Amino acid sequence: MKMSMLHCPTLKEAPKEAEVQSHRLLIRAGYMRKLAAGIYDFLPLGIRTLSKIKQIIREELDRAGAQEVLLPAVQPSELWMESGRWEQYGPELLRFKDRKGTMFCLGPTHEEVIVDLVRRDVRSYRQLPLNLYQIQTKFRDEIRPRAGLMRGREFIMKDAYSFDVDDDKARESYRKMHDAYHNIFRRCGLEFRAVDADPGNIGGTLSQEFQVLADTGEDSIVSCPACSYTANIEKAELVPPPPPSEVYEGNLEKIFTPNRRTVADVTDFLRIPATSLAKTLFFVADGKPVAALIRGDHELNEIKLKNALAATTVYLADDASVVDWTGAPSGFVGPVGLSGNVTLLVDPCVAAMPQCVTGANELDQHFVGVVPGRDFPLNRVVDLRLAKEGDPCPKCREPMAFFRGIEVGHIFFLGTKYSIPMKCTYLDERGNENPMVMGCYGIGVTRVMAAAVEQHNDDRGIRWPTPIAPFQVHLITLGTNDDDVVAASDMLYQKLLAQRVEVLLDDRDERPGAKLKDADLIGLPIQVICGKKSLEQGGVEVRTRVNGESRVVSLIQAADVIRAAVVESMAQWSNT
Ligand code: ATP
Ligand code: MG
CA of 157 to the centre of ligand 2 (A): 12
Which amino acid appears at position 158 of this protein?
K
Mean pLDDT (the chain) is: 94
Atom number in ligand 1 closest to CA 157:
16
CB 416 within 8 A of CB 437: yes
Name every residue whose Cβ is closer than 8 Å to that of residue 474 and which is 6 or more positions away in sequence. 503, 504, 506, 519, 522, 524, 526, 527, 528
How far apart are alpha carbons 217 and 319 in whole angstroms? 32
pLDDT of residue 73: 96
Residue 244 has pLDDT above 90, yes or no: no
**Whole-number Å distance between alpha carbons of 81 and 88:** 10
Res 301 pLDDT > 90: yes
- pLDDT of res. 205: 63
pLDDT recorded at residue 429? 95
- Whether omega for the bond prior to residue 129 falls within 30 degrees of 0, making it cis, is yes
Atom nearest to 159 CA in ligand 1: 14
Ligand 1 binding pocket includes 107 (Cβ within 6 Å): no
One DSSP character per residue, 318-386 reads: PHHHHHHHHSS-TTS--STT--TTSEEEE-HHHHT-SSEEEE-SSTTEEEEEE-BTTTB--S-B---B-
Residue 74 sits at the vertex; the CA angle it makes with 71 and 79, to the nearest 5 degrees, is 85
Query: What is the structure's pLDDT at 355?
Result: 94
Please calculate the CA angle 150-152-158 and round it to the nearest 5 degrees: 80
Arithmetic mean of pLDDT, 541-552 = 95
Taking residue 42's Cβ as centre, other Cβ atoms within 10 Å add up to 18
- Nearest Cα residue to atom 4 of ligand 1: 151
Q: For residue 369, give the amino acid letter.
A: G
Using CA atoms, how far residue 565 sits from 76, 525, 571, in Å, is: 51, 10, 10
- Whether 407 lines ligand 1, by a CB cut-off of 6 Å, is yes
> Which ligand gives the minimal distance to the CA of 152?
1
Q: How much distance in Å is there from the Cα of 330 to the middle of ligand 2? A: 30
The per-residue pLDDT for range 60-78, each reduced to its tens digit, is 999 999 999 999 999 999 9
- Select from 142, 406, 447 the residue to mutate for testing ligand 1; criterion: most ligand atoms less than 8 Å from CB: 447
User: What is the tens place of the pLDDT at every residue in 410-443?
Assistant: 999 999 989 999 999 999 999 999 999 999 999 9
Indicate the pLDDT class of residue 204, thresholds 50, 70 and 90.
low
Q: How far is the CA of 264 from the centre of ligand 2 (A)?
A: 33
Is the beta carbon of 157 within 6 A of some atom in ligand 1? yes
Is 140 touching ligand 1 by the criterion CB < 6 Å?
yes
Q: What is the pLDDT of residues 8-33, one digit of tens each?
A: 999 999 999 898 999 999 999 999 99
Q: How far apart are CA 461 and CA 27, in angstroms?
A: 11
pLDDT by residue (tens digit) across 476-500?
999 889 999 999 999 999 999 999 9
Atom of ligand 1 nearest to the CA of 443: 15
Mean pLDDT of 87-93: 89
Residue 389's Cβ-count burial label (10 Å; 0-12, 13-18, 19+) is: exposed
Residue 85 pLDDT greater than 80, yes or no: yes
Q: How far is the CA of 444 from the centre of ligand 1 (A)?
A: 6
Indicate if the alpha-carbon torsion angle 420, 422, 427, 432 is positive or negative: positive
- Which atom belonging to ligand 1 lies closest to the Cα atom of 152? 28
Residue 190 and residue 195: Cα distance in Å, rounded? 15
Give 32-79 as a DSSP string.
Answer: EEEEETTEEEE-HHHHHHHHHHHHHHHHHHHHTT-EE----SEEEHHH
Q: Which of 15-24, 156-165, 247-256, 478-487 has the highest mean pLDDT?
A: 156-165
**Ligand 1 within 6 A of 317 CB?**
no
pLDDT digits (tens, 9 = 90+) for 458-478: 999 999 999 999 999 999 999
Q: What is the pLDDT of residue 200?
A: 64
* CA of 142 relative to ligand 2 center, distance in Å: 8
Task: Give the number of residues written for the chain.
Answer: 576
Neighbours of 56 (CB within 10 A): 21
What is d(CA 542, CA 66) in angstroms, rounded to the nearest whole number? Answer: 41
| CA separation for the pair 414, 177 (Å, rounded) | 14
Percentage of the chain surpassing pLDDT 90?
A: 83
For range 346-360, the mean pLDDT: 95
- Confidence grade of residue 228 (pLDDT, cut at 50, 70, 90): confident
When comparing pLDDT for 442 and 204, which is higher? 442
408 Cβ inside 6 Å of ligand 1 = yes
Q: Which atom of ligand 1 is nearest to the CA of 202?
A: 10
Does residue 202 have a pLDDT over 60?
Answer: no
| High-pLDDT (> 70) share of the chain, % | 99
Cα–Cα distances (Å) from 64 to 58, 61, 137, 186, in that order, read 10, 5, 23, 16
pLDDT at 221: 87
Q: Is 69 exposed, middle or buried (0-12, 13-18, 19+ CB in 10 A)?
A: middle
